[in-house]
Amino acid sequence: MEIEDLDYVLVPVGILVLLIYHVWLLYTIIRHPSSTVIGLNAQSRYQWTLFMMSDPMKNGVLAVQTIRNNIMASTLLATTAITLSSLIGVFASNETETKLVFGNKTSPNSSIKRLFISLCFLVAFLCNMQSIRYYAHVSFLINTPALNGKKDFIEYVAKTLNRGSYSWSLGLRAFYTSIPLVLWIYGPIPMFICSCFTSFILYFLDTTTQITRDLHTKSFREKESTEEEDASA
């Protein structure tokens, strides 16, 4: 294979590796949520919302402070994403054709590389802004007194909170995806290696062990038994 052809082989394969992994992750979250960290966190947030709204007068301050911390985290990521995207735009207007190492000696597609990197940061910005929108909405709803028979309203608040967390996770995924694309500037080989390594690391970050699932299930059972004892009393 000619060195000039590496961009046309390794880069699509690296993107395909990331795509296949995230398709598998999405399928696992939908079909087997308890085997993923995202699924377990969604169930935990649902239980947390039920607990906070069971007594909004007592837990209201704690709930708002917790949501405020999430808003601050999303704001930081959104600010970072739009700043990096703006810097890439400034450099793109003044930068000449760069040279690559570990691959092509010239850079015929440098503008395409900058475009993909900028798109990643813009997606991260939009996802984090959407996350802030959901969190701000939940901060108003979670202090609403939930009367008996209003479990559907509590479920709506929990779903809105999970949507904010999903948006935050998507924004963080965009940051993860930008790492191989940044290394693409230095050549297709670093980009391909980083894509495989990133997928490998994300697998261990996204999946749960048996110990984690057992602890999570045990905590839910203890909470359910406590609620049943309180109801019987």
Domain limits, the chain:
82-197
User: What are the angstrom distances between the C-alpha of 176 and each of 61, 81, 117?
Assistant: 34, 12, 11
Return phi, psi of residue 207, to 5°.
-100, 155
Cα 93 to Cα 78: distance, rounded to the nearest angstrom = 23
Q: What is the pLDDT of residue 104?
A: 47
Cα 26 to Cα 38: distance, rounded to the nearest angstrom = 10
Cβ contacts of 138 within 8 Å, gap of 6 or more: 67, 157, 160, 161, 164
Per-position pLDDT tens, the chain of length 233: 566 677 788 889 999 999 999 999 999 999 988 888 898 899 889 989 888 888 778 888 888 899 999 999 999 999 999 999 888 877 766 654 444 444 444 444 677 888 889 999 999 999 999 999 999 999 888 887 755 557 788 889 999 999 999 999 999 999 999 999 999 888 889 999 999 999 999 998 888 766 555 655 565 555 555 555 555 55
Cα 40 to Cα 130: distance, rounded to the nearest angstrom = 22
User: Taking the C-alpha atoms of 16, 21, 24 and 26 in order, what is their torsion angle to the nearest 10 degrees?
Assistant: -100
Q: What is the pLDDT of residue 9?
A: 86
**CB-side exposure of 4: number of CA atoms within 13 Å?**
2
> How does DSSP classify residue 10?
H
Q: What is the pLDDT of residue 221?
A: 56
